[in-house]
Amino acid sequence: MNPTIQLVRYGEIALKSKSVRNRFEKKLVQNISAMLIHNEIPFTHISREWGRIFVHSSDANAAKIIARVFGVVSASSVVTCDSSIESITKTAADVAESVIRKGESFAVRSRRSGNHAFKSPDIARFCGDAIFERISKRDGENPTVDLTNPDREIFVEVRQSASYIFLEAVKGVGGMPIGTQGKMVTLISGGIDSPVAAWMMMKRGLEMIFVYCNNDPFSDETTTARAIDCIKDLKEWAPNFKFRVYEVPTGECQIEYLQSMNHNMMCLMCRRGMYKIAVNIAEKEGATGIITGASLGQVASQTAANMLAESYGIGFPIYHPLIGMDKTDIVDMAKMIGTFDTSTKPATCCTAVPDKPMTHASVESVQEGEETVNLIQLTTDALKGAKIYDL
């Protein structure tokens, strides 16, 4: 089998209006092109027709790389022919002969779009007959047809002017093309959760602006390096997009919290300060929301009562894509997207975390704490020292 084209399928984009669908398809093509170039996969050009995108590349790894592009449901390396039944059956038999070993069973899976003198069941039957005859002649014995659990599957997709024969559909990540849904700010810590939360929202088409709150002297350069490396891991999923990073020094904020309030309020006030910093950056960057890695009840500070109190009155959308996920599910996803190893590198955890953090804070207690430390002034001063860089 010598494929010359990668057949790309998408999902949700097909539900959009004609003009929106056209715009999203163009963005998807741009993102596929960037991903291929970034991974040094040669291709001549990318074309598209209603419902399908075609990448003209014979590279054996092309489909797997394309499948990493947000918006792609699946990708297949295909052999092409015209849409006459004679050409389809011959090409299907050629492909089948190259992969079916003696004694193996096979099945033909077919689908069709356009106007033809035959239907999908006809394609499967004609191709099955041609493959059966070809393999019988080659091996001197009849092969087995098994539609339930075959050793080999031959897929045939017939469109109006061309047909495509392939052996597998590499599952893509799905979602929407990144760059179609605007921008949001992600609070990134370098732990397991926040990179996964960012990835999930990238999958929904969002560009990311990352905010890392540097708690030095309560953390050190190992914590910062881990957070930046996690962002670099995520960058592999969107090589053609600029990842802006704000590193905000919040150590002075932590010192003020420790000196001015009960220690068990530290995490709540720290989180509220992060939200205020993130809102300021979001407004500056034209972002439409804030993303966190919070998962309900996972740690003491992430109870429902605390999440209400720390975000009350912020006045800006806050998204928690991991809110209902178990830790094991988050870990599995981190491994899948490639951030887990980075997130679990040795690093100094925040040393300001209380032994017994408050778990059922009231809105009133957090508002009182905010006034006590003059949180607006603290975060404003912290933002003045922010380092801004683009990956």
User: Average pLDDT in the 97-116 region?
Assistant: 94
**Quick one: pLDDT band at residue 337, thresholds 50, 70, 90?**
very high
pLDDT score of 199: 98
User: Average pLDDT in the 18-41 region?
Assistant: 97
Amino acid at site 197: A
Q: 111 pairs with which residues across the strands?
A: 157
70 and 168 Cβ atoms separated by less than 8 Å: no
What is the average pLDDT score of the chain?
95
User: Average pLDDT in the 249-266 region?
Assistant: 92
Three-class DSSP labels, 144-200: EECCCCCCEEEEEEECCCCEEEECCCEECCCCCCCCCCCEEEEECCCCCHHHHHHHH
Amino acid at site 89: T
User: Average pLDDT in the 72-95 region?
Assistant: 96
Report the top-level CATH class of 183-390.
alpha beta
User: Average pLDDT in the 61-85 region?
Assistant: 97
Helix-strand-coil split of the chain, %, nearest 5: 45, 20, 35
Give the burial class of 351: count Cβ atoms within 10 A of its Cβ; 0-12 exposed, 13-18 middle, 19 or more buried.
Answer: exposed
CA distance linking residue 125 with residue 115, whole number of Å: 18
Residue 169 Cα to chain centre, angstroms: 18
CA distance linking residue 212 with residue 190, whole number of Å: 9
Residue 269 Cα to chain centre, angstroms: 31
pLDDT score of 212: 97
Q: What is the pLDDT of residues 130-151, one digit of tens each?
A: 999 999 999 999 999 999 999 9
Read off the tokens for 110.
Answer: 């077919």
Q: Same CATH topology for 5-171 and 183-390? A: no
Residue partners of 371: CB distance under 8 A and separation at least 6:
none
Question: What percentage of the chain has pLDDT greater than the value 70?
Answer: 100
**Quick one: pLDDT band at residue 354, thresholds 50, 70, 90?**
confident
Is residue 349 scored above 70 in pLDDT?
yes
Amino acid at site 343: S
**Quick one: pLDDT band at residue 42, thresholds 50, 70, 90?**
very high
Question: Higher confidence at residue 114 or residue 77?
Answer: 77
pLDDT score of 301: 80
Is residue 126 scored above 80 in pLDDT?
yes
Residue partners of 140: CB distance under 8 A and separation at least 6:
none
From the list 62, 81, 80, 57, the residue with the least C-alpha distance to 72 is 62
pLDDT score of 352: 83
Domain-by-domain residue ranges, the chain? 5-171, 183-390
From the list 352, 272, 345, the residue with the least C-alpha distance to 314 is 272
Q: What is the pLDDT of residues 171-230, one digit of tens each?
A: 999 999 999 999 999 999 989 999 999 999 999 999 999 999 999 999 989 999 999 999
pLDDT score of 1: 67
User: Average pLDDT in the 14-31 region?
Assistant: 95
In the CATH hierarchy, which fold is given to the domain comprising 5-171? Answer: VC0802-like (3.30.2130)
